[in-house]
Amino acid sequence: MAVKKKLVVLFVVDLLIVWFSSFTAYLFRFDGYVPGNYLRQFFEYSLISSVLCLLVMLYLGMYRSMWQYASIGDLLSMCKAIVISWGVSYLITLLYMDNRVPLSVAIRTLETELLLMGGVRVFWRILGRKKKADRDNKIPTLIFGAGDCGMLVARELMSSTMSDRKLVGFIDDDPQKHFLTAFHLPVLGDRYSIESVVVEHRIKEIIIAIPSAPKAVVSEIINICISTGAKVKIIPGIHDMISGKISFSTMRDVDVEDLLGRDPIKTDLVGIAEYVQNKVVLVTGAGGSIGSELCRQIAPFRPSKLLLLGHGENSIYNIEMELRRAHPHLHIEPIIADIQDRKRMDNVFAQHRPHVVFHAAAHKHVPLMEKNPSEAVKNNVFGTQNVADCADKYGTERFVLISSDKAVNPTSIMGATKRIAEMYVQSLNAQSKTKFASVRFGNVLGSRGSVIPLFKKQIASGGPVTVTHPDMVRYFMTIPEAVQLVIQAGALSKGGEIFILDMGEPVRILKLAEDLIRLSGYEPYVDIDIQFTGIREGEKLYEELLTAEEGATKTQHERIYIGKPSIISQKELDLEFARLERVLGEEPKAVKDAIENLVPILEYVS
C-alpha cells in the first residue's frame, strides 16, 4: 500500500510539473507578464499537455516502475513519453486552437518537463539508496581487476537490490589505471597495495575478477588476499564473462585448488577419441575418486560400452546413476567384482572383451597398509596381475595402470606394492600384443584419504588441525587434472612406458593447512590451532616422481614425461610372486621381507 501511495504522489507531482513548465514558459516568453488573451491559451495548452503526458506515461508503465531502483533504460522511457506527449499536444494546438502556441513556449515547456521529471526520479533513486545504505549494515568490499569483468561485477554489485556489500573501490596491476575512477569509485593501487587498502578501508571481502589471468598470477593474488584476513571470492572463468553470466551466483569462495596456480590442460581430443570412441572401456575401481572421474571424462567420447567395475556396491551405484543422468544414451554396465578374484575377472573379460582398461582399483592408505601388508599385496599386486593377465589373454588393446609417486624409492608397503605392479605390467608388455603402460602421479586434492577433507572436518569442529611434520611436502593435482592427463597418456602409449605427470611445485602441508584455515575465515594459531603429530609409519617428508636410473624424457604433451623403462625378468618376477603368495596371511614382517626381495623398502629417518 505504501508503494501505491508513493506512485500516486509521483502522478500528482508530474501533473504539477506539466502546469509549472507551461506557466514558466509563458512567463519567460512575455517577460513576466502574460497578456489576457494568452492566459486562456495557457490553460487550454496545459490541460491538453497534462492529460496526454499522463496517459502516455501510464501506457508506457512509468507509474509501475520502482524508481528507487530505476535504470538508465527507465529514464529513457520516461523521456520518450514526455517527447511523444509534447509533440502530440503541440500538434493539437496548431490544428484546433485559434491562436498558435508560440514555438519558444512549447520548446521551453519540453525542456522544463524533461529536467524536472527526470530530476525528481533521479532524486528519488538517490534518496531510496541512501536510506537503504543507512538502514543496512553493508560489507566493505574491494574488487581486484578494473577491467571488463571487474566493471560487470561492480555494476551488478551496485545495482543489485539484494546485495549486502558496499563497494569501496578497485585494485589493478595496470599502473595506467591508478588514480582513475569507475562508477565514482577509485582504483586504489596494485596487488602490493592490498594489505594497506584493507586496513585503511576496513575491507571485509575481496572479489577477484580477473578470469583471463594466468593461474599462477591468480594464485599469488589469492595468497596476498587471504593473508589480510578478508573473505575472498573469485570469478571462476573467462567463459562466464564472455557469455554474460557474471553474477553473484557465478562467484564462489576461493578453494585450495585455486592456490595451486596451475593453468588448464591442453588435451588432444582427436587422439583420445581415436582409442576410446566406439570402444568397450573398462574402469576398475570405478567408484573411487580417480575411477569415477575417469568415467565422467571418458563418457563424452562415446565409448560403445562403459564398464564400471568396483567392489563397493554403493559407490558403483552412485557413479552409474550420475552417468545415466548426464549421458542417457550411453551403454553403461555396472559390475560388482573383486579384482583379487581371478575367476571372476576372467568371466568379466570373456563376456565383455574390453578394448581399453584403466586400472584404478588399489589400496592407497599408507599407514593402514603398513598394518595390513597381506591385503596390500593381494589387492595391489595380485589384483593387478589378475586384471593385466586377463587383458593380455582376451586381446585388450591398451591397459593403463594408475600408479603413485610413492612407488619411487618406497618407504612404505603401499608404495612398494605399487612399484611391483608397475614392474609386472612392464614385464607383461614385452611379450603381449596389448600396450601396457603405467601413469605415476602424486596426491590429488579432495580424494578419499587426502589431507584436505581431514583438515576441513577438523576446522569445522573447531580444531586443532593436525600436521605430521612442519617440513612435510607433497605434490598435488586436482582430480580432474590428473584424470585428463591419465587419459591423454593412454593416447600416447606405445607400450611399456611409465608416464610421469608434471605435478608442478611441491606444496608444504603446513602452508596448505594454514591457507585452508584462512579460507574458512579463521586465523591460524589464533582461532584454530595447528598441532604436529609426527611422521607416521611408512611416510617420508617428500615424495619423488623418478628413480635415479629412470631419468625422464619429454613427450609431445608438455605436462607428461616418460621414465626410462626398466629391464625386468619375467622368470624372476614369477619366482618372487610365488614366494609372496606363500607368505600371505603370515606375520607382517614375513610379508615385508618377501616384498623387499622384489623392491627394497627404505627406512626413512626424519
DSSP 262-279: -PPPP--HHHHHHHHTTS
Quick check: is 80 catalytic?
Answer: no
User: Any idea which of 223-237, 242-256, 491-505, 566-580 has the lowest mean pLDDT?
Assistant: 242-256
The residue ranges of every structural domain in the chain are 2-133, 139-254, 269-596
User: Exposure of 386 by Cβ count < 10 A (0-12 exposed, 13-18 middle, 19+ buried)?
Assistant: buried
pLDDT in tens, 36-71: 667 777 787 778 887 887 787 777 776 665 555 556
Beta bridge partners of 501: 560
Residue 180 scores a pLDDT above 80: yes
pLDDT-derived band of residue 239, with 50, 70 and 90 as boundaries?
Answer: very low
Q: How confident is the model at residue 337 (pLDDT cuts 50, 70, 90)?
A: very high
Residue 481 pLDDT grade (very low, low, confident, very high; cuts 50, 70, 90): confident
In degrees and rounded to multiples of 5, residue 136 shows phi and psi of -90, 150
Report the range of poorest mean pLDDT among 192-201, 363-372, 407-416, 506-515: 506-515
Which among 177, 233, 406, 540 is annotated as catalytic? 406
Query: Options 3.40.50.300, 3.40.50.720, 3.40.640.10, 3.40.50.960; which CATH number does 269-596 get?
Result: 3.40.50.720
CATH 3.20.20.100 given to domain 139-254: no
Nearest to 26 by CA among 44, 50, 42, 40: 42
Among 37-51, 255-269, 341-355, 500-514, whose mean pLDDT is lowest? 255-269
Instruction: Return the percentage of the chain with pLDDT > 90, whole number.
Output: 28
What's the distance, CA 327 to chain centroid? 22
State yes or no: pLDDT of 524 exceeds 50: yes
For residue 539, the model assigns a pLDDT of 67
Q: Residue 521: what pLDDT? A: 76
Q: State residue 380's pLDDT score.
A: 95
Mean pLDDT of 308-314: 94
pLDDT at 482 over 90: no
Q: Tabulate helix, strand, coil % of the chain (nearest 5).
A: 50, 15, 35
**pLDDT mean over 2-22:** 72
pLDDT reading at 237 higher than 70: no
Question: What is the reported pLDDT for 57?
Answer: 75
Inform me whether the pLDDT recorded for 451 exceeds 90: no
The burial of 70, by beta-carbon neighbours within 10 Å (0-12 exposed, 13-18 middle, 19 or more buried), is given as middle
What 3-state class would DSSP assign to 205?
A: strand
- Confidence band, pLDDT 50/70/90 cuts, at residue 555: low
The pLDDT of residue 573 is above 90: no
pLDDT at 429 exceeding the cut of 80: yes
pLDDT band at 117 (very low <50, low <70, confident <90, very high): confident
Query: Is pLDDT above 90 for 352?
Result: yes
pLDDT at 124: 66
Q: In this model, does residue 187 exceed pLDDT 60?
A: yes
**Cβ partners under 8 Å of residue 261, min gap 6:** 215, 216, 217, 218, 219, 220, 504
Q: What pLDDT shows up at residue 210?
A: 87
For the whole prediction, is pTM greater than 0.75? no
| pLDDT at residue 333 in the model | 96
pLDDT at 554: 61
H-assigned helices in 236-312: 238-242, 269-276, 289-298
Residue 479: pLDDT over 90: no
pLDDT tens readout for residues 120-154: 777 766 665 555 554 456 789 999 988 888 888 88
**What average pLDDT does the structure give for the chain?**
81
Confidence (pLDDT) at 317: 96
User: Which of 49, 484, 164 is CA-nearest to residue 298?
Assistant: 484
Q: How many helices (H) and strands (E) does the chain have?
A: 21, 22
Spatial CA neighbour of 93 closest among 41, 39, 25, 29: 41
pLDDT at residue 240, rounded to an integer: 41
- DSSP secondary structure letters along 99-149: SPPPHHHHHHHHHHHHHHHHHHHHHHHHHHHHHHHHHS-PEEEEEE--SHH
Measure CA of the first residue to CA of the last residue in the chain; give whole Å.
74
Q: Do the beta carbons of residue 601 and residue 416 sit within 8 Å? A: yes
Using the predicted structure, report yes or no on whether residue 551 has a pLDDT greater than 60. Answer: no
- Per-residue pLDDT at 508: 83
Strand positions, DSSP E, 502-606 = 507-508, 530-532, 553-554, 560-563
Residue 399 has a pLDDT of: 96
pLDDT at residue 410 is higher than 70: yes
Average pLDDT of the residues in 92-121? 77
Instruction: Give the SS3 label for residue 252.
Output: strand
Q: What is the mean pLDDT of residues 528-540?
A: 79
Q: Determine the pLDDT at residue 456.
A: 83
In whole angstroms, give the CA distance from residue 205 to residue 69. Answer: 24
370/211: higher pLDDT = 370
pLDDT at 604: 47
Per-residue pLDDT, 31: 73
Alpha carbon distance 296, 294 (integer Å): 5
Torsion from C-alpha of 237, 242, 248, 254, nearest 10 degrees: 10
Are 139-254 and 269-596 the same fold in CATH? yes
Contact yes or no for 450/509 (Cβ under 8 A): no
